[in-house]
Amino acid sequence: MNSTPKSEGTAPMQTASGLNQLEQLKKFTRVVADTGDFALLKEYAPEDATTNPTLILKAALKPEYHALLEKAVRDGKKTAQAPDDVMRELLVLFGLEILKVVPGRVSTETSAKIAFDADALVAEGRLFIERYAKAGVGRERVLIKLATTWEGIQAARVLQKEEINCNMTLLFSLAQAVAAAEAGAKLISPFVGRILDWYKKKNQREYLPAEDPGVLSVREIYAYYKTFGHPTEVMGASFRSKGEALELAGCDLLTISPELLGELKSSTEPVARKLSPEGSRNPQLSRLKVDEKNFRWLLNESAMATEKLSEGIRTFAADAAKLQEFMAKMA
């Protein structure tokens, strides 16, 4: 199946007109900040923010955020909460602070330890929504992040029926993307930079942004969604350079680190729109079958997707454990 769309590099260039690249990008893509450090958000004015255990660990270890850790630990002691419950409390506390800054949504991640347990993922997603609701935040402002395992996809199917919106993360293949869309997931987060990392290591070569395997993967997914009318939002994630992000200008959303947001903000070079729904539709595409057996086979057939999904789950689990250990010392 030849499903990679052509780049729309011939689209009219956007004149800078004094606008920096970040301002230009926001004209046709919803820009999201990829950070748990809410102090940085005001500078870049993103619409949404995403977090994961690694980003929360990085932020939580900074002295200015210790008050949130202390509150989570203190509240946990009062109600005799288990360590996992204290962790959930901390993630929600970070989410609440982020929502004071961004006008849109925050993504809060489920535990990597339950990435292969659909029932547990559903239960944790509901718990997060309940905690946000108690703080006065409606579910429309929260995305529950789920690893894109088969079980994560089935959890999303259940949660979406309850109007709990899901963000499918650790996504590296078209098969994962199609299964997530067919389950009704609100949003997917293909990991551009981690795909690039795998191919650079395997092939021992560098890639220009336009030929970046991660960029091409997102274009393929975007074209499939627009061709077959899937409303699931595509949010490119995990960028290694601003060039990668700019090659996906026009994607539904892009979640970008503060460092790269800073680079975009400091440049006034013109930004061209590379993706649009109309230009990406491809009548030659064929539908992909993604029942459980075929999903597992297609994922297995992609060494990159299999390895990066497993690695991502292990990394998030390890960073969550480090954060729990740090909080235990504060108790």
1 assigned to some structural domain: no
Task: Tell whether 12 is covered by a domain.
Answer: no
Q: What percent of the chain has pLDDT over 70?
A: 95
Residue 3 lies in a domain: no
The answer to whether the beta carbons of residues 144 and 170 sit under 8 Å apart is: no
Rg, C-alpha atoms of the chain: 19
Count how many Cα atoms sit within 13 Å of the Cα of residue 281 in the half-sphere of its side chain.
Answer: 8
Reported confidence tier of residue 111, pLDDT bands at 50, 70, 90: very high
282-307 pLDDT, tens digit each: 999 999 999 999 999 999 999 999 99
Q: Tokens 């969550």 — which residue? A: 320
Q: Which helix (H) or strand (E) covers residue 244, if one does?
A: helix 242-246
Which tens digit of pLDDT belongs to each residue from 1-39? 444 444 444 343 444 468 999 999 999 999 999 999 988
Q: Which residue has the tokens 């990829």?
A: 34
Q: Does residue 7 form part of some domain?
A: no
3-class secondary structure, 148: coil
* CATH code, domain carrying 211: 3.20.20.70
Domain encompassing residue 297: 21-330
Say whether 145 is catalytic. yes
| Catalytic hit among 145, 226, 242, 308 | 145
Is 174 a member of any domain?
Answer: yes
The dihedral built from the CA positions of residue 78, 57, 251 and 262, taken in this order, carries a sign that is positive
**Residue 116 in domain:** yes
Residue 271 covered by a domain: yes
Specify the 3-state DSSP secondary structure of 108: strand
The answer to whether residue 79 sits within a structural domain is yes
| Structural domain total, the chain | 1
